């Protein structure tokens, strides 16, 4: 369950001499913060969606970014997932209304209300890559799956292998997934999520761990 992504739990296991089947605590902590994960991806040369490098502290600050980047934009919780704390904003008045709602939902769901903002990617494909990494950072991928059929930002259907990606896109997206895992020192099984835009641009979203 959610303990598979709990850095404190992984650390306590290590302190007690219990083998934790998952990434090291420091890796879980770094990836649990979506802003930190964005910076890690950028450092590894993996593209991310244009967005803010830090949490935005107010609707006015979010509006400044949106005016520069152009609407629509997506508000996202910096800590959390599962579609919680996410709001699509089509204009400035809507952004002001939804900023507080997104922050409140994030605070309730994850105990942290920080919000960042990204350019909204229209009609993307949601692609996931399964990875396996050992303690020596040897990483392999188990191909990709297309999770674009969703409801409220939650996937309903997965198709593997994807019948919508070109061979070149599959090669690129799996290369990004394994490169990112090696760079951060990921261990055990994980899923690397990407968006593929209608223009063919690949953007990193997040990595989450899997327990068996």
Q: Write out the catalytic residue numbers.
A: 155
Asked if 86 contacts 69 with a C-beta cutoff of 8 angstroms, the reply is no
**Would you state the torsion angle of the CA atoms of residues 2, 25, 10, 211, taken in this order, to the nearest 10 degrees?**
50
Residues 6+ away with beta carbon under 8 Å from 84:
77, 105, 106, 109, 110
Which pairing describes strands 125-133 and 115-119: parallel, antiparallel, or unpaired?
unpaired
3-state helix, strand, coil in the chain (%, to 5): 35, 30, 35
* Separation CA 138–CA 141 (nearest Å): 11
Q: Which helix (H) or strand (E) is 31 found in, with range?
A: helix 25-32
- Continuous segment of H or E residues that includes residue 30: helix 25-32
What 8-state DSSP symbol labels residue 123?
A: S
């Amino acid at each position: 369950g959610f303990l598979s992504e709990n850095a404190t739990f992984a650390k306590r296991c290590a302190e007690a001499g219990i083998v934790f089947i998952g990434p090291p605590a420091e890796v879980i902590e770094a990836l649990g913060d979506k802003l930190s994960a964005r910076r890690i991806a950028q450092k590894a040369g993996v593209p991310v969606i244009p967005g803010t490098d830090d949490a935005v502290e107010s609707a006015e600050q979010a509006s400044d970014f949106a005016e520069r980047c152009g609407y629509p934009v997506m508000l996202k919780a910096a800590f959390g997932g599962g579609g919680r704390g996410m709001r699509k904003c089509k204009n400035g008045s809507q952004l002001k209304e939804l900023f507080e709602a997104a922050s409140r939902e994030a605070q309730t769901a994850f105990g942290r209300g920080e919000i960042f903002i990204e350019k909204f990617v229209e009609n993307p494909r949601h692609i996931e890559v399964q990875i396996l990494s050992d303690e020596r950072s040897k990483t392999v991928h188990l191909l990709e799956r297309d999770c674009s059929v969703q409801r409220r930002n939650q996937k309903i259907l997965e198709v593997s292998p994807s019948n919508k990606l070109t061979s070149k896109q599959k090669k690129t997206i799996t290369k990004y997934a394994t490169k990112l895992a090696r760079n951060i020192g990921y261990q055990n099984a994980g899923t690397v999520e990407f968006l593929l835009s209608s223009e063919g641009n690949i953007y990193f979203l997040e990595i989450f761990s899997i327990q068996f």
